[in-house]
Amino acid sequence: MRIEQAEVIVTSPDRNFITLKLTTDTGITGLGDGTLNGREPAVVSYLKDSVAPLLIGRDAHQIEDTWQFLYRSAYWRRGPVTMAAISAVDVALWDIKAKAAGMPLYQLLGGASRTGILAYGHGSGASTEELFDSIRMHQEMGFQAIRVQSGVPGLRAIYGVTPSKTDAGVVTDPGSPDADQHYEPAQRAARPPEEDWDTRAYLRHLPGVFEAVRNEFGPDLPLLHDGHHRMTPIQAAKLGKALEPYDLFWLEDCTPAENQEALRLVRQHTTTPLAIGEVFNSVWDYRQLISEQLIDYVRSSVTHTGGISHLRKILDFAAQYQIKSGIHGPTDISPVGMAAALHLDLAIHNFGIQEYMPHGQRTNSVFQQSYSFIEGYLHPGERPGLGVDLDVDAAGRYPYETAYLPFNRLKDGTVHDW
Ligand code: EZ4
Ligand code: CO
């Protein structure tokens, strides 16, 4: 079975998505997600100009060999653009192989290890009242685990929080019909929107928010929080310690963890579980974090970590240290990337939790999915392959739109970590 065609499809129904579509000489097609939030054109060029021509004529069954060929023959290893492009190829080939086998992809990864995939949703609010409403709304949608992000008094706009509906002039979303209910990090704009930040104000405010949420929603509900790389190691240690009474499922990205040994200091001071890695793209970013047991959950996505083949290797490494998966699943992972994550989640033994931000209606009209979300649990479905189809005509109705993630500055104007 040879690869005959490799097309890169760019579409922006609610936001930008990059999809690779491979067609074989048997007529079987496969889809892969290469979306890199805010830097999509770089992956499009990498795929179109440097990868697609090399795929034509290759045996579609040789997934590992194709992966190693793309990774090693480029000479320039790793990096978000390269690894997103390789991921798109890898996932498209797994889709093809599973369709050829007539099985849902998870069967080829070892079969189901569980009946459903526990997902967490994004609760947020500029105020505690709005946060409570958002948590209740997510519970009504079925979510049984909630990420909690809160506004901080004195700060105008911060990451992870849907701006208050009364905040005139704040662009809340890039056009999603239900975006007033869902936080969307990127914004359609010619330049990155500017937010503000003050770590001391955040550290003072957050423990009280978690106390209020626990008092309102009880001890059972798993609660998560994302620190988005904004703390120093000693600040992260302090926050982890302060949040211990509220029994978090995890504290995510507490420091910019490319300094892996910094996590030793955080670990010495707190038993709050730590999750890291949505911006990482290879096993090398985790070498020390995993072997020294400095984290509890691996946050990488299938889309940004070289696909199912490479993320599986990271998770198998993590499993030897009782570290579990927490695969990245925001709206900037397309339905194709989400389906790939779900097949992997279902098959691996060391599954932890799956992030899930439902896509908008326009996105769902472009990508038809077979995965389901029932009473807090996701399932990839039983269709052969990934179970996702792309309507190319519908995709063509929504051309690429420039969009950026926001960034933030401290009071004195210093650019801080996003
Ligand atoms: O901000 O995916 O845990 N999830 C997150 C995401 C990220 C975006 C960046 O593209 O932190 O919402
Ligand atoms: Co995150």
Question: pLDDT tens-digit profile of 299-331?
Answer: 999 999 999 999 999 999 999 999 999 999 999
Structure tokens at 311: 């993320």
What is the CATH superfamily name and number for domain 117-382?
A: Enolase-like C-terminal domain (3.20.20.120)
Reading phi first (left if > 0) and then psi (alpha if -120 to 50, else beta), residue 175 is in: left
Q: What is the pLDDT of residues 339-379, one digit of tens each?
A: 999 999 999 999 999 999 999 999 999 999 999 999 999 99
Domain coordinates of the chain in residue numbers? 3-108, 117-382
Residue 160 Cα to ligand 1 middle (Å) = 8
Q: Do domains 3-108 and 117-382 have the same CATH topology?
A: no
The active-site residue out of 46, 71, 106, 159 is: 159
Structure tokens at 235: 């600040």
Q: What is the pLDDT of residues 165-182, one digit of tens each?
A: 544 333 344 344 444 456
Alpha carbons within 13 angstroms on the beta-carbon side of residue 210 total 29
What is the average per-residue pLDDT within 160-166?
A: 69
**H-helix or E-strand spanning residue 233:** helix 233-243
Q: Answer yes or no: 229 catalytic.
A: no
What is the CATH superfamily name and number for domain 3-108?
A: Enolase-like, N-terminal domain (3.30.390.10)
What residue has token string 């929603």?
A: 217
Using CB distances shorter than 6 Å, the residues near ligand 1 are 37, 185, 226, 278, 330, 332, 355, 405
Q: Answer yes or no: 228 catalytic.
A: yes
C-beta separation of 195 from 406 below 8 A? yes
Q: What is the pLDDT of residues 233-267, one digit of tens each?
A: 999 999 999 999 999 999 999 999 889 999 999 99
Distance in angstroms (rounded) separating the CA atoms of residues 388 and 336: 6
Question: Considering the entire predicted model, what is its pTM?
Answer: 0.96
Alpha carbons within 13 angstroms on the beta-carbon side of residue 170 total 18
Distance in angstroms (rounded) separating the CA atoms of residues 232 and 74: 35
Name the residue among 286, 205, 192 with its Cα closest to residue 239.
Answer: 205
Radius of gyration in angstroms for the set of CA atoms belonging to the chain, rounded to a whole number? 21
What is the number of the ligand closest to the CA of 124?
1
Helical spans, DSSP H, in 109-232? 128-141, 199-217
Write the burial class of residue 154 (CB in 10 Å: 0-12 exposed, 13-18 middle, 19+ buried): exposed
Distance in angstroms (rounded) separating the CA atoms of residues 319 and 296: 10
